Amino acid sequence: MKLKQPNAQGKRAGRSGRLVQARDRIREERLFIRRAVVSFIFVALGLSALVGRLVYLQVFNHQYFTTLSENNRVSLQPLPPTRGLIYDRNGVLLAENRPSHRLEIVPEQVDDIDATLQRLSTYITISESDLRRFRRLVGRSSPYVGTPLRFGLSDAEVARLAVNLHRMPGVNIKADLSRRYPLEAVAGHILGYVGRIDERELKTIDTSQYSGTTHIGKTGIEKTYEDILHGEVGYQQVETNAQGRVLRVLSKTPPVPGKNLYLTIDIEFQRAAELALGDYTGAIVALDPRNGDVLALVSMPNYDPNPFVNGIDYASYKALNTSPDRPLFNRALYGAYPPGSTIKPMMV
């Protein structure tokens, strides 16, 4: 059997096809090289921009971002001063400071404040007035500073909260000193009371001198001698972790405690004068004729200032404020009475 030899035309067609394939392959290789070069240029430009930005941040702006980082982990915390005590002329204690605890929340460290408040309410009692005051304070305070939610926590409440704090970032229990009047209603009008700083007072006080302080003198001696009793705020610079927990104290300027006051009042005279008035409405003032010292200054009926310190409840305040006997009114200082026969010596 004889094989048929390909003719010349077929040979030319085969060579032509191979040439076309070779040219296509060369074109594809050139196209690939061009695309690779363009891609490399874009990658190189991107890397150059990234390296340039890194050099800008790490070299040229190193000091700026170092300072910014330090500010984020180092904070200045106020240290409230201890309020001065009040004594009578014989050294009997009339106003003291008792150890107490308050509950604070740092808004910046809390993801969901409403959920946190709801959880806290399962451990302790939180009144509507507590919630209103807390939301008002959050709106006008720095989110990085603890905002008080509850004052005067009992030992049982502190214990319940302490074992659950790890579940609530940003919630802290702070040791505090709470004002207390050991003789209760005795000399209540004279001493007055301290209370939480309100919005009106924030506009008139030097806020730098009340940083970390929640109370101020409202009436009586507590208000009149506020500058002496309050003291001076201290500060400490602390290093904190990402959760805001204090790691160490870097520096500290201790607060200056308030000065103690000694009144001219003799508390035994005061008590005797109050007992003498009994259930009557009126006032008694006893002076030392030798030097004019006020030994007793009584207004009856009187009231116990202790409930006002951490916020008296509405029902109790309404009962005092609407009572026809007006126990909140200081008759010895502000009452107007006919002089009677006391004017006769001046008429003779």
Annotated catalytic residues are 341
User: Which pair of structure tokens corresponds to residue 86?
Assistant: 């009040």
Asked if residues 335 and 284 have their Cβ atoms less than 8 Å apart, the reply is no
Contacts of 245-253 with CB under 8 Å at 24 or more apart are 250/74, 252/79, 253/79
How far is Cα 168 from Cα 160, in angstroms, rounded to an integer?
13
For the chain, the distance separating the N- and C-terminal CA atoms, rounded to the nearest angstrom, is 172
Beta-carbon count within 10 A of 168 CB = 17
Cα–Cα separations (whole angstroms), residue 93 to 39, 262, 284: 85, 9, 22
Instruction: Return d(Cα 90, Cα 271) in angstroms, integer.
Output: 14
